[in-house]
Structure 1
Amino acid sequence: MRSKQWRRELAFYQFKAEIPTRYADVDTERHVNNVAVLSMHAEARSRLHLSLFGRDAWLAQTDTLRTAGIETDFLAVTHYPAPVTCGVSLIAVNERDYTLAVGMFQDGACVGLQECRTGAWHAGEWRGLPSHVRARLLEFGLAGEPAPC
């Protein structure tokens, strides 16, 4: 992820959310700790889901849709009290799962990147995505790597 310069551009992301930093998340080095940073990525993904599916539908799906894998690159320190802006884009979707790309920006700089693969979990095993979930994701649209200049 970190080698893809276009992932460090806020304009790449289809959905954006501003998330406050909290003093309670400041570590002894006076930085926002990594667990809090991971939570901010999760908050951004959740806000996209609420935007796509609506509150009632999203809450009903939380027992079905589960994180299947996460990869995170910490690029710079996140500081309190400045908020972060998280951008989220859909970069892959198929019958079984989908992948969201998240970029975290503070004071105009990209401070972190994440990819999260989400799938449908039911009765102790991975299943296909519900058709309405896949359809809504496809309606939202895939963000692609920009063409080289």
Structure 2
Amino acid sequence: MKDDPRRRHVAAYPFRIELVPRFGDMDLNRHLNNVAVARFYEEARVRFHFSLHERPGLERFRVFIAHIAIDYLAEGNWPDPLEVGVGVVHVGGSSYRLGLGMFQRGACIGLCDSVLVHLGEGGSAPLPPLLRSALEGLRLRAE
């Protein structure tokens, strides 16, 4: 995750949102605490998926999280807004990996990888063609 230079540039992410830290998101050192950072990544990931659900034919797909990893690169501060970018890193048979980057004042302060598995009736299921196509169109961009 840290070895891919694209991940440290907000322009590489096809989906981006701004999130505003709250006073309660700080730790005793006045930095964004690790639990708050995880919640910001969650919010970005959920909004990314809601944007997919708005597309015709993708209203009802379900996924579950198989893995999440977070790298903290710098301290985040309150009350400066955050920009969180989301892009697809890999598309497999029944799962895909999202790469997320967190930026504050133009600097990358963290990276997150999330592996999501498409859920069918009895567990994991192959990605439907419409979902696969949508994900392919939302890959991380080249620098």
> Contact 2:6 / 2:141 at 8 angstroms: preserved in 1?
no
Q: Tell me, in whole angstroms, the C-alpha distance in 1 between the residues paired with 2:106 and 2:4.
A: 17
1:6-46 residue CA offsets vs partner (Å, 9 max, x unmatched): 21011111111001101111111111110110111111111
1:72-106 residue CA offsets vs partner (Å, 9 max, x unmatched): 11001111111100111111112210111100000
Which residue in 1 is equivalent to 2:107? 109
Query: CA 1:119–1:9 in structure 2 vs 1: closer, same or farther (change >3 Å)?
Result: same
Which residue in 1 is equivalent to 2:126? 128
Q: Tell me, in whole angstroms, the C-alpha distance in 2 between the residues paired with 1:25 and 1:100.
A: 24
1:142 aligns with 2:139: yes
Q: Tell me, in whole angstroms, the C-alpha distance in 2 between the residues paired with 1:134 and 1:5.
A: 25
Q: TM-score, normalised by structure 2?
A: 0.86
> Contact 1:49 / 1:58 at 8 angstroms: preserved in 2?
no
Aligned AA (2:140): A
More helix by share: 1
CA RMSD of aligned residues (A): 2.3
Which residue in 2 is equivalent to 1:71? 69
Given candidates 62, 82, 85, the residue that maps to 1:84 is 82
Aligned AA (1:143): L
- Alpha-carbon distance, 1:145 to partner: 5.1
In the comparison of the two structures, how many residue pairs are matched? 143
Consecutive unaligned residues in structure 2, runs of 5 or more: none
Counting aligned pairs with the same residue, the percent is 36
- Alpha-carbon distance, 1:123 to partner: 5.4
Instruction: Report the 3-state secondary structure (helix = DSSP H, G, I; strand = E; otherwise coil) of the residue aligned with 1:81.
Output: coil
Which residue in 1 is equivalent to 2:50? 50
Query: CA 1:10–1:129 in structure 2 vs 1: closer, same or farther (change >3 Å)?
Result: same
Consecutive unaligned residues in structure 1, runs of 5 or more: none
Q: Tell me, in whole angstroms, the C-alpha distance in 1 between the residues paired with 2:5 and 2:45.
A: 21
Query: CA 1:50–1:75 in structure 2 vs 1: closer, same or farther (change >3 Å)?
Result: same
